[in-house]
């Protein structure tokens, strides 16, 4: 099931509520009228589907708030988000349009970044792994142009508190994402004086950690996982 189908199902089966539910309802709009028959109110939607739906909607809502952190969203920022959607997530056409609609609606609504982040934190309170991935994606987008401005930094630091994550995560991510691609040793977390076998062992460990099946087992949306 695509996350768009899950989103519609979540609206009918769960009534998400809160700012995330309101945003989702506004984006789906007429889609419910034309496709409602496919999503019976008596259908069973798992808690995991609800969480994945909330993850996606909150992610692109927070992307919008990050982009507008300095008071306006520039063309460069919109292009940055669209490139991120296509290259990082590899969404199909329908998923991409849905993500863009969420972004555009959240960009102009009166809900704050903190409100979206707080509701997601409450929904995923038992899934810290998903919150960490969410935070890493926000950081990756913010740093995609190689610069982390003061407003973005302020929101990212607030998110650490809202999500109840390790305060060192901000510093670590900022350091890691600032590493030049010309230094693959540092990016992998190894040194040039290590043996080939040692480097290979660390590489295989990281590869296993980020294997799609391992990530899915942590409750992360399949559309976010590169295979």
Q: How far is it, in rounded angstroms, from Cα 45 to Cα 39?
A: 10
Mean pLDDT of 9-33: 70
Please state, for a pLDDT cut of 70, what percent of the chain lies above it: 66
Cα 215 off chain centre by: 14
What is the pLDDT at residue 30? Answer: 44
Average model confidence (pLDDT) for the chain?
Answer: 75
> What digits encode the pLDDT tens for the residues 185-217?
565 666 767 776 776 676 666 555 544 444 444
* Residue 19 · residue 113 · CB < 8 Å: no
Q: Render pLDDT for 100-156 as a digit per residue (tens, 0 to 9).
A: 999 999 999 999 999 999 999 999 998 999 999 999 989 888 887 777 888 989 999
Q: For the chain, give me the number of helices (H) and strands (E)?
A: 13, 0
Task: Give pLDDT, residue 9.
Answer: 52
Question: Which residue has 């708030």 as its token pair?
Answer: 65
**What phi and psi values does residue 37 have, to the nearest 5 degrees?**
-65, -25
pLDDT of residue 121: 96
Mean pLDDT over 45-68 rounds to: 85
- The pLDDT value recorded for residue 190 is 66
Between CA 128 and CA 136, with CA 131 as vertex, the angle to 5 degrees is 125
Rounded distance between C-alpha atoms, residue 23 and residue 165, angstroms = 26
Helix (H) or strand (E) holding 17: none
Query: At CB < 8 A and 24+ separation, what contacts does 149-157 make?
Result: 149/69, 149/70, 151/69, 151/70, 152/66, 152/69, 154/69, 155/65, 155/66, 155/69, 155/113
Are 117 and 162 a contacting pair, CB within 8 Å?
A: yes
Average pLDDT for residues 21-36, to the nearest whole number? 69
């Amino acid at each position: 099931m695509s996350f768009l189908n899950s989103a519609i199902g979540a609206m009918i089966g769960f009534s998400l509520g809160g700012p995330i539910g309101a945003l989702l309802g506004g984006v789906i709009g007429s889609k419910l009228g034309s496709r409602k028959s496919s999503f019976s109110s008596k259908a069973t939607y798992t808690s995991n589907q609800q969480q994945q739906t909330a993850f996606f909607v909150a992610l692109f809502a927070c992307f919008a708030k990050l982009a507008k952190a300095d008071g306006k969203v520039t063309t460069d920022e919109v292009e940055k988000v669209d490139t991120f959607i296509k290259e990082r997530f590899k969404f199909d056409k329908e998923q991409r349009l849905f993500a863009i609609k969420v972004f555009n609606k959240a960009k102009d609504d009166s809900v704050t970044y903190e409100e979206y982040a707080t509701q997601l934190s409450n929904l995923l309170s038992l899934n810290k792994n998903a919150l960490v991935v969410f935070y890493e994606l926000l950081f990756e987008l913010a740093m995609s142009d190689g610069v982390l401005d003061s407003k973005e930094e302020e929101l990212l630091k607030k998110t650490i508190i809202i999500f109840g994550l390790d305060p060192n995560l901000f510093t670590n991510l900022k350091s890691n994402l600032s590493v030049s691609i010309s230094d693959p040793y540092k990016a992998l977390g190894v040194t040039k004086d290590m043996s080939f076998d040692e480097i290979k062992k660390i590489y295989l460990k990281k590869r296993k950690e980020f294997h799609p099946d391992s990530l899915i087992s942590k409750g992360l949306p399949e559309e976010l996982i590169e295979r």
